[in-house]
Amino acid sequence: MHALRIFGWSFAITALGVAAAGVLGGPRDAAIVAILAILEISLSFDNAVINATILRRMSEWWQKIFLTLGVLIAVFGMRLIFPIVIVALTAHLSPVDVFDLALNDSAQYAEKLGDAHPAIAAFGGIFLFMIFLDFLFDPEREIQWIRKLEEPLRRAGQLDVIPIVVALVALLVVGEAFSGDHTQQVLTSGVAGLATYLAVRGLGEFFEAQGIGDEDDGADDDSAVGGAVAAGDTAAPARSGGTPKLVLATGRAAAFLFLYLEVIDASFSFDGVVGAFAISQNIFVIAAGLGIGAMYIRSLTVYLVRRGTLSEYIYLEHGAHYAIGALAIILAISIETEVPEIITGLVGVAFIGLALVSSIRHRRKEAAAGGDNAGQDDEPDTSREPAPAPL
């Protein structure tokens, strides 16, 4: 029943979207909406895992905002309006002219959106690459999946500018060696993506550290928020219903985390929006199909948070970040070379699948070790760092 409540809106919007497409455009459009929804879900499963790592730091009220207002932003903002804005900027047209083009000459609109792809790939690629680098170079990350790779990088991360340096070097290499005639466009968009990442992430962390704004978000008094945040309570998290009760971000801190989630969603959605024109050139059909898929990704994100799945399967977060790093590389390659969507989707699924298998193996080893040691020592084991399960 709990899962039905979380996914209920997704089921309802799916039925409404497919039915509306069938009534307005016929069975063919209804089928295309369903196909695009499945495509979006398959391409963005790793996005759900990444979202869950951030969303679990937010109060339940903000989680509901992510599932309601966030969906409207995802459907109408990222899948409909944002591509029009990108085309307007790169083609030097007004948004009204671009919207008219999308309605009356979808083929030319798709062509101009394709022309904007180098800028889109550079912006989204550097944003996603920074997420990946910040994860790899995090000096406080104790859980390691591929220890031989991750431990040296974790130690190097004590120099906190390393992710930025690596990202800038990668951007220069891509801009000079792999972007063909789009060097200036790629470098400009890449710097804009890096600046956006640093600004949104930095402001979110600043307000989260300050514990500002727990009075405005309407969170329940018993939601492990409020006073604990304002007082800077650092007590160990307690568990309730399998979900860790963390000191959760509220107010302006949660607002910037929400904005951060939306930019991540935009970075993930770019390739899906461009690729969708290979299936349909109707912008409303594309927005409906990708929007339904985005709704399921949001429901899945909330489900992962409420079930505490990331705590139970400890390498899922690692797999999702490796998938994000791979997607950033694919976006860089796609500036000059077309990469089929199926490859993008399979790479993400492969990393998530391997991480899930490693997590299950780790849980079995822990359970076996616990059974072997049962009753041998009355002293509690205070070592909580899990043993690595390398590939």
Contact by Cβ (8 Å): 34, 296: no
Residue among 220, 266, 226, 276 nearest 249 (CA) = 226
pLDDT digits (tens, 9 = 90+) for 68-99: 787 777 777 777 787 788 788 877 888 888 88
Instruction: State which H helix or E strand residue 355 sits in.
Output: helix 341-372
pTM for the full predicted model? 0.72
**Would you state the structure tokens that stand for residue 30, as one six-digit string?**
């209804």
Least confident of 22-26, 139-143, 281-285, 328-332: 281-285
**Would you state the structure tokens that stand for residue 281, as one six-digit string?**
């050139």
pLDDT digits (tens, 9 = 90+) for 42-58: 777 777 888 888 887 77
- Cα dihedral 78/82/84/88 (nearest 10): -160
| List of residues 6+ apart from 341 with CB closer than 8 A | 39, 43, 271, 272, 275
pLDDT digits (tens, 9 = 90+) for 315-342: 888 888 898 888 888 888 888 888 777 7
283-295 average pLDDT score: 82
**Would you state the structure tokens that stand for residue 242, as one six-digit string?**
């399998």
Dist CA 182 CA 121 (whole Å): 11
Q: What is the pLDDT of residue 377?
A: 47
Q: What is the pLDDT of residue 207?
A: 67
| List of residues 6+ apart from 93 with CB closer than 8 A | 87, 101
